[in-house]
Amino acid sequence: MGKPFPSSLELKAILFDVDGTITDSDPLHFQAFKEIFQQAGFNNGEPMTKEYFLKQISGKLNSVIAAEHFPLLDEPARAKITEEKEARFRSLAKEHTAEIPGLSRFVEWIKQRGLRRAAVSNSPRDNVEQVISALGLDDFFELVVIGNECERPKPFPDPYLKALQHFGVSAQQALVFEDSPAGTKAGAAAEIAVVGLTTGHPKAALLAAGASLIIEDYNDATLWAKLQRELGESEQEEQVSPGLLVQGPPDLLQLERTDPKQEVVQGIPVAQPEPPLQSSTT
């Protein structure tokens, strides 16, 4: 059973995992692991399967992955394999980084409410910073927490506890967004409510790991209905700031950019006619 959502008066911070949570990068990681591990002779050179990647690799720290898969190699040799894997991932990511659907919409929602925000990941810092930059989120994230820079990485709670400590907020004042069982366990162990995205892992696995809510992406009506219900959002219409109208049915908010001089009809800006020119006399 997941932790309860914070109330509207309690919510202060949103903490995001990166791979599979703000971008669907798991297919790129899978491709990189498959290529580099095959070259290194893992499984007698047989290609890694997607099922194996999801069960045995996704969400884990590189040092742990290398130790489990190459126990006979020394630490420098293991590090060389994982460094080659990450270099291959960054090469693939340059061409194929895209946001999870609806992320920009949710980012705007967070910014309008002045919530603190952090990226919390087990991936190497170079990878995380490349993804954040590619998505245009450098100015959005106030903090980046890396698993191997903490005493213990995910699935231990340390990375999320570090983010809470940095912002000076309690677990009951935050929400975590994760896509892997390991990351979900970390958030739940930190006593934070976790929203699980099914970008790479099934709903059952995320719920078993302690997720409080499961969504497909950031356009999921379930997410917006939950935010409205738990955080006291208006059911029909809320003016957030000049030029940004939040309007729609209670289970799905629609963000529409509007001009202050335009009228909005059913969420669609309608230009108003210009006043007639006044003739001048001398």
Residue in 42, 9, 10, 32 with CA at minimum distance from that of residue 171: 10
251 is catalytic: no
Q: How far apart are the first and last CA of the chain?
A: 80
Q: Are 71 and 11 in contact (CB under 8 A)?
A: no
Q: At what angle do helices 181-189 and 158-167 cross, to 10 degrees?
A: 50
The number of residues making up the chain comes to 282
* Strand ranges inside the chain, DSSP E: 13-16, 116-121, 143-146, 174-178, 193-197, 213-215, 237-241, 244-247, 254-257, 263-265, 268-270
17 is catalytic: yes
Catalytic residue chosen out of the listed positions 17, 24, 26, 179: 17
Distance CA 81, CA 92 (A): 17
Task: Indicate which residues carry an active-site annotation.
Answer: 17, 19
